[in-house]
């Protein structure tokens, strides 16, 4: 009978026979069959050596190169898609037909209520407007008396959101006439 078998606890594994550990096993750790246990260059289930020997030479380089090219092309595809979605004007393709979404935390309300409040509280009237991506109207409200100005974005659903506001409004004609160095 083996002398070590009597002193060893029942739960511990049997001692490994003397000699070389299995291919891919780390010293002091049993082999799990995972990729981390295989030596560098060893192939996985796909076309690898049945004995666990590393695949070397041209075949290994071909396998590594194919995996690298696939990964790089997937990365380029993902980046291109992200750029096209985040900044459709920069991607060169047509803009996605999406309804404009108000900025998180923006002050929004019914357009009629927002416009009446700008008129009552600040004396602002509409000075200009433009269409944004064919769906939202960007409007500029200003007051020559108070100098305040407000830019709102009105959506087709009747919602209007504050985009920007400020002071010291100057009408384009007045500003051009008062500009220093103007020959007029």
137 is a domain residue: yes
48-62, 72-86, 122-136, range with the lowest pLDDT = 72-86
Model confidence at 3: pLDDT above 60: no
Q: Can you give the residue range of the structural domain that contains 43?
A: 31-92
Could you tell me if 88 and 124 lie in one domain?
no
Q: How confident is the model at residue 64 (pLDDT cuts 50, 70, 90)?
A: low
24 is a domain residue: no
7 is a domain residue: no
60 is a domain residue: yes
The 10s digit of each residue's pLDDT in 136-157 is 999 999 998 999 999 999 999 9
Domain tally for the chain?
2
11 is a domain residue: no
End position of a domain, from candidates 92, 127, 145? 92
3-state secondary structure of 22: coil
18 is a domain residue: no
Could you tell me if 79 and 125 lie in one domain?
no
End position of a domain, from candidates 64, 92, 120? 92
Calculate the dihedral angle through the C-alpha atoms of 172, 174, 175, 180, rounding to the nearest 10 degrees: 150
Could you tell me if 112 and 163 lie in one domain?
yes
Most confident of 3-12, 122-131, 174-183: 122-131
Q: How many CB atoms lie within 10 A of CB 161?
A: 20
Report the C-alpha gap between 148 and 137 in whole angstroms: 20
Could you tell me if 83 and 124 lie in one domain?
no
Q: How many CB atoms lie within 10 A of CB 46?
A: 6
Residue for token pair 């009629």: 112
Instruction: Look up the pTM and report it.
Output: 0.41
Could you tell me if 83 and 113 lie in one domain?
no
158 is a domain residue: yes
Could you tell me if 126 and 162 lie in one domain?
yes
Could you tell me if 113 and 138 lie in one domain?
yes
Could you tell me if 88 and 131 lie in one domain?
no
The 10s digit of each residue's pLDDT in 21-63 is 555 455 555 555 555 555 555 444 455 555 566 666 666 656 6
End position of a domain, from candidates 92, 124, 143? 92
25 is a domain residue: no
163-170 long-range contacts (CB < 8 A, ≥24 apart) are 163/103, 163/106, 163/138, 169/142, 169/143, 169/144
């Amino acid at each position: 009978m083996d002398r070590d078998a009597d002193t060893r606890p029942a739960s511990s594994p049997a001692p490994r026979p003397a000699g070389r550990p299995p291919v891919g096993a780390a010293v002091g750790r049993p082999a799990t069959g995972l990729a981390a246990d295989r030596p560098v260059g060893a192939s996985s289930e796909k076309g690898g050596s049945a004995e666990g020997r590393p695949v070397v030479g041209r075949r290994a380089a071909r396998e590594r190169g194919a995996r690298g090219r696939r990964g790089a092309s997937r990365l380029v595809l993902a980046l291109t898609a992200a750029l096209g979605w985040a900044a459709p004007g920069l991607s060169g393709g047509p803009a996605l037909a999406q309804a404009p979404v108000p900025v998180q935390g923006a002050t929004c309300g019914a357009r009629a209520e927002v416009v009446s409040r700008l008129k009552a509280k600040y004396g602002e009237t509409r000075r200009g407007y433009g269409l944004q991506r064919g769906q939202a109207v960007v409007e500029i409200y200003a007051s020559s008396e108070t100098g305040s100005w407000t830019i709102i974005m009105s959506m087709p659903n009747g919602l209007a959101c504050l985009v920007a506001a400020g002071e010291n409004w100057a009408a384009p004609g007045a500003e051009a006439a008062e500009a220093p160095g103007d020959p007029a």
